Amino acid sequence: VTTRLSISNSHNEPETTLSGSFYVHGPAGCGKTTLGVTRLLSLVQQGIRADSILILVPQRTLGLPYLNAARSPSFPPGGQPAVVTLGGLGQRLIDLFWPAISHPAGFKKPRQRPDFLTLETSQYYLSRLVRPLIDQGYFQSISIDRNRLLGQILDNLNKAAGTGIALTSLADRLKAAWVGKPDQLHIYDEAQECALKFREFCLENNLLDFSLQLEVFCHHLWPSFLCRQLLTSQYRHLIYDNVEEDVPVVHDVIREWLPHFESALLILDDNGGYRSFLGADAASAQEIANLCENKIHLTNSYIAPPAMQAFSEGLSNILLREWNQPVNPSARKVFRFTHHRFATQMIHSIAGEVKRLIDQENVPAGQIAILSPYLSDALRFSLMHELDLLGVTSRSHRPSRSLRDEPAAQCLLTWACLAHPQWEFPITTQDVRGAFMLSIDNLDLVRADLLAQIVFRPKRKPNYLGSFDTITAEMQERITFRVGQRYEKIRAWLEDYRSGKELPLDIFISRLFGEVLSQPGFGFHQAFDNAAVAARLIESIRKFRWATQTTLEHEKSPVGQEYIQMVSEGILAAQSLQPYEEQLDDAVLIAPAHTFLMTNRPVTVQFWMDIGSQGWWERLFQPLTHPIVLSRRWNPAEKWTDAHEYASNQQALARLTAGLIHRCSGKIYLCTTGLNENGDEQRGPLLKAVQTLLRRLPVEKAGDHV
C-alpha cells in the first residue's frame, strides 16, 4: 500500500496519501506531533497494519501522544504500532537474537540469559567496582558526590556508544581539550579506567547497561542480515519524532534504514537539542532529515501568538548578540517584569498573582507553570506552602531529585525497616515521627512527636511499636482518637505482615501503599507528589531486584536490605525513572525550566523565577565528562576555552528561552530578586538580556519594582 501525505501550510492540516519520505520541521507549538499522530491514524484508517508502523522517539515519554492515540477507542482494532526508542527496540532484539550475538559481542556466558540494567542498577554495579579504587585515592583531586561521580562515568560510556567514539579514546579527547590545571588531567584516565572495568564486568556477567545495549544493536544486530531482514520486513512505515533529541548512532541506523521504508515522516523541532548534554546531536539529525524527498516547514504556531513569537525572537537575538536586529514592539505585550529584593517577597508576589489569575482571569490552575533553573527544597516548600495558604493546588516535578531526600520515600523505607527488624537498620524516633506525619492525614508535628515518643521503643525489637490502646487516657486525648485509630490500623497491618512470609521490598511497599496509606484518612490519599514518589520508589526497587537478585542471593544478602543501604549511601537515587510523565491534573506546576520543556506541554501563563540567577545560563558541573568535547562535531585537537563555554551557554539559554516562550500562549512573568539565598546579588545573563530588551522597546511602564 502506498500512502501519500500532503500538508497545507496555511492550516497545518494534513491530508491523506502522499508516498515517500517527509521531513517536517518548525518551532514548538506549530503542530508537528499532532501531525505525526494524524499521520498514524490516517495510515491505519487506510488499512495499513498498525504493527507495521514503527514510531521512533528518543525518549519514552515523547511517544506518549502516539501511545494515547493508539489506545483510544477510536483507534481501529487489530495490532498496535511499535512506539519505541532505539534502545528499547534493541533490548527486544538482543533478547531474541541472544544465542547468535552473545559470543561475537564478547559476553563470557553466552549460554546464560542476559540481564538489562537500568541507570540505577548500572550505578549499583559500578559503585561496587569503583569503591575500592576510591579507597586507593582515585578522584581525590575533585570534590563530587558519589552519585554524580558514578553518573558521569556511565555518561561517558553512553556518549561513546551514542557517538561511536572508541571508549578507550575518551580520556585522551577530554585531556586534549582541557585548559585548566594540568594536575587535574589524571582524573580523566581514572574515569576511563573505571568505565573499562565496568564494561569488562558487564561482559563477564551478561549485564547490559544502556551503552552496551546500543553498541550491541549497532555493531552486531543491525549489520546482521537476519536481523535487518526481520526489521525491514516487519516495519514498513516510520514516524520518527524529535529526531534532534537522539544520538548520532541512531541517526546512522536510520540513514541506512530509510530507503527500505515505504513511507517515512521525520519530525524536527527547530529550537530543539535540549538533550545535548546526554549526547543528542541536532546536526546529524539535520543530515538525515536532508535525505528526505519532501521538506515541509511549519511556521504558524497553534500556541504562541505573534507577539509571543516576537518576544522569543527579540530575546534570542540579544542572547546571540545579533544586536542590529530590530525588536518588534508587540513583544512588550506578553511579558511582565517584576523585581523584589528578597526571595520571600518574590514568592509571596507570585503566589498572589497566581491566585488572581485563577480567580479573576479564569486561568485554570493547570495552565500555569512556575519555572526556575533549579528547584531547591526550600524554594519548592515555600512556594507550595504560600499557594496552599491561598487555596491553590500545586504540584512539582523534579525528576533529578534523589530519593534519599524525598520525605515520602524516607517514610516508606522507615515502615519497611520497622517491618523487617532482622535487617537491623537503626531507626530513630525522628524517623518514626516523620513516617507518622506523612502517613496519617493531617497529623501535626507535635502530636506525631508525642505519639512517636510514647509508642516507639527502639530497643524493643522486633515489636518496635506499642499499641495506642495501652497508653494513658490523657495522652490518648492529647494525640486524639482519630489519629490513634489510624495509627492502630497501620500497626495492625504491619503485625499481620510480620506474621506471614517476607515479601520482596517493592511488593511490601506496594501493598502497604495500596491497602493502607492511599486510603481515605491516610497521608498518601490526596498527596499526588507523594504518591508519585511512591510509584518511583516501587519501580526502582523492582528493577533493582530483577537486576541483582541472582548476585545478591549468591552473596546471601536480602535484596531489600541492600537496596535501603544503597539509598542511604546516596548511590541509588531513582532519579531517572518515569522522568517526564504527563500529568493532567488541574494544579499549578512548579518545575525546573528544563524539565518543563521535556514534558512538551504548553500552558497559558509562565512565571520565570530568579531570572538574575546564573543557573539559567551555566552548564551542569561535569568534571569527568563533557557533552560537546565528546561529540562528533568536536575537533579533537582543539582546546575547550571560555569562548566555547560562553557561546555554548548563550546558545543553550537562547534555545531554552525560545522553547519556553513557544510553549506559552498568554503571558510570561519575569521575576527577579536582588539577593539570592546566598546573599549575593543576582545579575546573570538572562537578566541582562531582558534588560537590553526592555531598553530597546518603546518606553512603557517598565515593570513593577518592589
Partner 1 sequence: MFNPRPAQAEILCYTKGLMGISAVPGSGKTHTLSALAANLIINNPLEDDQEILIVTLVNSAVDNFATRISSFLTQNGLLPDLGYRVRTLHGLAHDIVRERPDLVGLSDRFTIVDEREANDILNSSTQAWLRGHPILHDTYFDADIPANRVSQAEKDWPEVMVNVARSIIRTAKDRQVTPDMLQRLLAEIADPHPLLVMGSDVYTSYQQALNYRSAVDFDDLIRMALAALNADPAYLDRLRYRWPFILEDEAQDSSRLQEEILRLLTGQQGNWVRVGDPNQAIYETFTTASPQYLMNFLKEEAVTPCSLPNSGRSTESIITLANHLVDWVREFHPHIELQEALTLPHIQPTPPDDPQPNPTDNPQAIFIDQGKPLDSEGEINWVIRSVARWLPDHQDSTVAILTPRNFRGAEVVEALKKANLPYVELLQSSLTTRQTAQLLAQILRLLADPGNPTLLANCLQAMLVRHEESSDQKLYAKTLAEQLKRCVRTEEFLYAQPGQDWLDTISPQQLPMDQRDELVKYREQIIRWQQASLLPVDQLVLTIAQDLFIQPSDLALTHKIALLLDHDAGIHPDWRLLEFSQQLEAIAHNERKLAGFTDEDSGFDPEAYKGKVVVATIHKAKGLEWDRVYLMSVNNYDFPSMEDYDTYISEKWYIRNQLNLEAEAVSRLMGIIQHDPFLITLPEGDATRAARIEYCAERLRLLYVGITRARRELCITWNTGRNGRCLPAIPLTALQSFWKERSNRGSSA
Do residues 39 and 30 lie in contact, with contact meaning Cβ atoms separated by under 8 Å? no
Nearer to partner 1, 32 or 594 (CB): 594
Nearer to partner 1, 32 or 433 (CB): 433
Minimum CB separation of residue 457 from partner 1 in Å reads: 17
Minimum CB separation of residue 542 from partner 1 in Å reads: 24
DSSP 128: H
Do residues 247 and 279 lie in contact, with contact meaning Cβ atoms separated by under 8 Å? yes
CA distance 527 to 446: 21
Take residue 82 and report the three cell numbers written for it: 511499535
CA distance 244 to 278: 12
Minimum CB separation of residue 369 from partner 1 in Å reads: 22
Minimum CB separation of residue 341 from partner 1 in Å reads: 8
Nearer to partner 1, 146 or 601 (CB): 146
Which candidate, 406, 359, 358, 349, places its Cα nearest to that of 383? Answer: 349
Minimum CB separation of residue 179 from partner 1 in Å reads: 5
CA distance 578 to 446: 35
Question: Alpha helices, DSSP H only, in 164-258?
Answer: 170-177, 186-205, 210-216, 225-234, 248-257
CA distance 589 to 660: 14
Nearer to partner 1, 257 or 617 (CB): 617
Nearer to partner 1, 374 or 546 (CB): 374
Nearer to partner 1, 433 or 545 (CB): 433
DSSP 440: B
The alpha carbon dihedral of 565, 571, 573, 576 has a sign of: negative
Minimum CB separation of residue 475 from partner 1 in Å reads: 11
CA distance 597 to 242: 13
159 contact partners, CB below 8 Å, separation of at least 6: 165, 170, 279, 625, 627, 630, 631
Take residue 388 and report the three cell numbers written for it: 496552599
Residue 331 sits at φ, ψ, to 5 deg, of: -55, -30
Minimum CB separation of residue 300 from partner 1 in Å reads: 32
Amino acid at 547: A
Where b means 16+ CB within 10 Å and e means fewer, 145-182 reads: ebbbbbbbbbbbbbbbbbbebebeebbebbbbbbeeee
Minimum CB separation of residue 638 from partner 1 in Å reads: 12
Nearer to partner 1, 143 or 470 (CB): 143
Minimum CB separation of residue 342 from partner 1 in Å reads: 6
Nearer to partner 1, 297 or 457 (CB): 457
Amino acid at 277: F
Nearer to partner 1, 504 or 674 (CB): 674
Residue 351 sits at φ, ψ, to 5 deg, of: -60, -45
Minimum CB separation of residue 529 from partner 1 in Å reads: 13
Nearer to partner 1, 486 or 667 (CB): 486
Nearer to partner 1, 299 or 344 (CB): 344
Tell how far CA 631 is from the center of its chain. 21
The CA angle 112-117-121, to the nearest 5 degrees, is 120
Nearer to partner 1, 142 or 166 (CB): 142
Take residue 62 and report the three cell numbers written for it: 515523547
Q: Which residues pair with 590 in a beta bridge?
A: 370, 396
Q: Is the peptide bond before 579 cis (omega within 30 degrees of 0)?
A: no
Minimum CB separation of residue 482 from partner 1 in Å reads: 10
Minimum CB separation of residue 447 from partner 1 in Å reads: 6
Minimum CB separation of residue 121 from partner 1 in Å reads: 22
Nearer to partner 1, 233 or 453 (CB): 453
Which candidate, 49, 95, 13, 25, places its Cα nearest to that of 240? Answer: 25
Q: Say if residue 389 is exposed, middle or buried (CB neighbours under 10 Å; 0-12, 13-18, 19+).
A: exposed
Helices (runs of H) and strands (runs of E) counted in the chain = 25, 17
Rounded to a whole number of angstroms, the distance between the first and last alpha carbons of the chain is 65
Nearer to partner 1, 186 or 542 (CB): 186
Nearer to partner 1, 330 or 402 (CB): 402
Minimum CB separation of residue 288 from partner 1 in Å reads: 33
Query: Which H/E stretch holds residue 6?
Result: strand 6-8
* DSSP characters over 479-513: H-HHHHHHHHHHHHHHHHHHHSPPPPHHHHHHHHI
**Footprint of partner 1 on this chain (CB under 8 A)?**
140-145, 179-181, 183-184, 341-344, 376-378, 381-382, 385, 405, 407, 410, 426, 428, 430-431, 434, 437-438, 444-447, 449-450, 453, 478, 480, 568-570, 614, 618, 621, 623, 641-646, 674-675, 677-681, 683, 685, 688-689, 691-692, 695
Nearer to partner 1, 284 or 410 (CB): 410
Which candidate, 551, 519, 680, 500, places its Cα nearest to that of 202? Answer: 551
CA distance 357 to 666: 11
Residue 480 zone, left/alpha/beta (φ > 0; ψ -120 to 50; rest): left
324 contact partners, CB below 8 Å, separation of at least 6: none
CA distance 667 to 367: 11
Minimum CB separation of residue 410 from partner 1 in Å reads: 8
Minimum CB separation of residue 622 from partner 1 in Å reads: 8
